[in-house]
Amino acid sequence: MQSLPPHEVRVWYRFTESIADSELETSSAILSDAERARAGRFVFDRDRRDFIVAHALVRRTLSQYDRRSPEAWRIDATGGQKPAIAGDNAGALTFNLSHTHGLVACAIARDTSVGVDVESIERVTGEHEIAQRFFSPIECRSLDACEPALYRRRFIELWTLKESYLKGIGTGLSHPLHTFSFIFDANGGVTFDAPPDVAAADWQFVLAAPSPRYRLALAVRHPSSHPAYRIVLQDADAVDGRALPIIASSRA
Q: Summarize pLDDT for 7-38 with one digit per residue, the tens.
A: 899 999 999 999 999 999 999 999 999 999 99
Check residue 180 and give its pLDDT: 94
Check residue 164 and give its pLDDT: 97
Task: Identify whether 45 is part of a domain.
Answer: yes
Domain count within the chain = 1
pLDDT tens, per residue, the chain with 252 residues: 788 888 899 999 999 999 999 999 999 999 999 999 999 999 999 999 999 999 999 999 999 999 899 999 999 877 667 888 987 555 689 999 999 999 999 999 998 999 999 999 987 778 899 999 999 999 999 999 999 889 999 999 999 999 999 999 987 767 889 999 999 998 889 999 999 888 898 999 999 999 999 999 999 998 777 788 999 999 999 877 778 888 888 864
Check residue 139 and give its pLDDT: 96
Please name every residue paired with 204 in a beta bridge, in sequence order, or none if there are none: 220
Task: Identify whether 3 is part of a domain.
Answer: no
As a whole number, the mean pLDDT across the chain is 91
Check residue 89 and give its pLDDT: 53
How many other C-beta atoms lie within 10 A of the C-beta of residue 86? Answer: 13
**What is the dihedral sign for C-alpha 14, 122, 244, 162?**
negative
**N residues, the chain:** 252
Q: Whole-angstrom Cα distance, residue 90 to residue 87? A: 7
Q: Whole-angstrom Cα distance, residue 108 to residue 94? A: 6
Q: Whole-angstrom Cα distance, residue 131 to residue 112? A: 30
Residue type, 127: E
Predicted model pTM: 0.93
Give the domain range for residue 39: 8-249
Where would I find the H helices in the chain? 21-29, 33-40, 45-64, 127-134, 137-144, 148-169
Task: Identify whether 35 is part of a domain.
Answer: yes
Distance of CA 243 to the CA centre of its chain: 16
CATH number at residue 90: 3.90.470.20
Q: Whole-angstrom Cα distance, residue 86 to residue 69? A: 15
Check residue 91 and give its pLDDT: 62
Residue in 244, 250, 247, 251 with CA at minimum distance from that of residue 11: 244
Check residue 79 and give its pLDDT: 62
